[in-house]
Amino acid sequence: MNINKLIVVVLLSFSFYNCKVTKGVENPKVKKAINLQKEVIDHPLFKKILLELEQEGAIDWSEGRTSSIQEDLSNYESNIHWLLEQFEKKRGYYKDVVFLWRKFNPFSKTKAATYPCKDSTKLNKWRLKRDKYSILNTLIHERVHSFCHIHPRNKQTKRENLCDAAYIAGDLSEAIISNKMGIKERRMSLPICPALIQKIDEYELVKIIK
Ligand SMILES: [Zn+2]
């Protein structure tokens, strides 16, 4: 085999390795995070804090974040009542619908990819060097997208969506599970919605290291 052919083979196998989609449960940390979803969904403070934030008008539903399900939402007392019912009925991600893949760009900050309204998600393998509680945060966040919630097309960063339902539910999950596991202090991915930080402090869930 000449050197050019060899290079092609190496590059092809590298991209194949990178693009290969595997099951989340094959990664022990992801498997644990999948199992932890029910702990937060069934935790009374998950519901209570989300309802309080909604009542205070702290959750950002603007700019078409729920436009594809507007009709459905009108049947509920509030948008958060709709979201809580989704979590109650559809629960977290079932283990077999969580996949892992490597995003082509290893430096991308993307932690996961979920098509709105689609009942599966893919976690970026380049972004798994974090603990199971942070991965749980991502799963709960993506689950909200699986219920048809989106970020506005031109606003995809956390900073631009800080107080939307997906980021709030994800960050709240991480705070709740930290509390449940007896973690006193935690470095979480910042920024976090200020109204949620207030609740985390008020209920003494965890001290966020800034
Ligand atoms: Zn998102």
Tens digits of residue pLDDT in 20-53:
899 999 999 999 999 999 999 999 999 999 999 9
Whole-number Å distance, alpha carbon 143 to ligand 1 midpoint, is 9
Domain-located, residue 60: yes
Domain-located, residue 14: no
Tens digits of residue pLDDT in 100-117:
999 999 999 999 999 999
Query: Is the backbone peptide bond immediately before 191 cis, with ω within 30 degrees of 0?
Result: yes
- Containing structural domain, residue 123: 22-208
Domain-located, residue 151: yes
Domain-located, residue 12: no
Whole-number Å distance, alpha carbon 166 to ligand 1 midpoint, is 6
Whole-number Å distance, alpha carbon 53 to ligand 1 midpoint, is 19
Helix, strand, or coil here: 98?
Answer: strand
CA distance 78 to 191: 26
Whole-number Å distance, alpha carbon 141 to ligand 1 midpoint, is 6
Tens digits of residue pLDDT in 74-100:
999 999 999 999 999 999 999 999 999
Whole-number Å distance, alpha carbon 165 to ligand 1 midpoint, is 9
What Cα–Cα distance (Å) separates residue 4 from each residue in 11, 14, 15? 11, 15, 17
Does residue 6 register a pLDDT over 70? no
Q: Please give the tally of structural domains in the chain.
A: 1
Domain-located, residue 70: yes
Domain-located, residue 6: no
Mean pLDDT score of the chain = 93
Does residue 158 register a pLDDT over 60? yes
Position 7 scores a pLDDT of: 64
Report the candidate in 189, 184, 186, 181 with the shortest Cα–Cα distance to residue 208: 186
Does residue 14 register a pLDDT over 80? no
Domain-located, residue 3: no
Domain-located, residue 41: yes
68 pLDDT band (50/70/90 cuts)? very high
